[in-house]
Amino acid sequence: MIGYLLLGLLLMAALLVVLEWWARAKTKDAKRTLMYIGIAITALIALFFIARGQWIIGALPVALTVSRFFGFAQRALWLSRLFGQGREHFQNQQRGGGSGTARSSSSDLSTSEALQILGLQEGATRDDIQQAYKKLMEQVHPDRGGNDWLAERLNAARDRLLK
């Protein structure tokens, strides 16, 4: 009985230390720590179920965590592809070859390029185009940490496909 009381007090003290750190931590450090805690909890849940012989249930939290990270990786891959198409534009701007105010227009893009930018296949419907545009714009909008060039490319791709 006293052992449980001491364990409870020890856990409360540890919680207070963690909360004190959390209150003073930078946002970036707090997010990274929270991510690692989430991964650790996911691993513990998975190990618990796997140890009980429930492999499928144990694999579920791992699969969800992995899909979350691959979702991020997939978005990063898409952004790198998009940046790859615009690398020459940025290099030209740095060399002084551009006016600095050039905007992507839908006439600069072929239909296949616009489909590739939005991650769509030939024959995409108007709804598909608008949904893909909205989803991607939420990720690359300048107000959410993206930049103007990415938003302009998405706008140009949408405009090209909706003509």
Q: Report the b/e string of 70-95 with b at 16+ CB within 10 A.
A: eeeeeeeebeeebeeeeeebeeeeee
Top CATH class of 102-163 equals mainly alpha
Domain ranges of the chain: 102-163
DSSP conformational letter for 142: G
Q: What is the pLDDT of residues 40-72, one digit of tens each?
A: 888 888 888 888 888 888 888 777 777 666 665
Q: 106 and 116 in contact (C-beta within 8 Å)?
A: no
Q: 115 and 161 in contact (C-beta within 8 Å)?
A: yes
pLDDT of the chain along its 163 residues, tens only? 788 899 899 989 988 988 888 888 888 888 888 878 888 888 888 888 888 888 888 888 777 777 666 665 555 555 565 555 444 544 444 444 444 444 455 567 888 888 888 888 888 899 999 998 998 888 888 777 777 788 888 888 899 998 8
pLDDT at residue 58 in the model: 81
pLDDT at residue 94 in the model: 45
